[in-house]
Amino acid sequence: MSRVCQITGKRPRVGNNVSHSHIKTKRKFYPNLQTKRFYLPEENRWITLKVSTRALRTINKKGITAVLKEAREKGNILV
């Protein structure tokens, strides 16, 4: 699976390592992704999502149902 958050759509970003002598080499900044299981009481089942820690905070605040609805509208998730 790719390193993309299924809720927010966060993906790796590209940047530079900068040494003491100011030489720049390419690197990637990866999002902090966690594989997490969520229970959907409306559908009476568990789903497994790969989500960023920022998305976990959003899920705790709004609830999994509301967040999934928004993600489906944006097209980030196909569950």
- The predicted model scores a pTM of 0.83
**E strand map for the chain:** 13-18, 24-29, 33-40, 45-52
CA dihedral 34, 53, 4, 18 (to 10 degrees): -110
Pairwise CA distance, residues 78 & 63, whole Å = 18
Residue 2 has a pLDDT of 87
Pairwise CA distance, residues 50 & 6, whole Å = 6
- Whether the per-residue pLDDT at 79 is higher than 70: the answer is no
Tokens of 35: 């594989």
Residue count (the chain): 79
Over residues 30-65, the pLDDT tens digits come to 999 999 999 999 999 999 999 999 999 999 999 999
Q: Which CATH superfamily is domain 13-74 in?
A: Ribosomal protein L28/L24 (2.30.170.40)
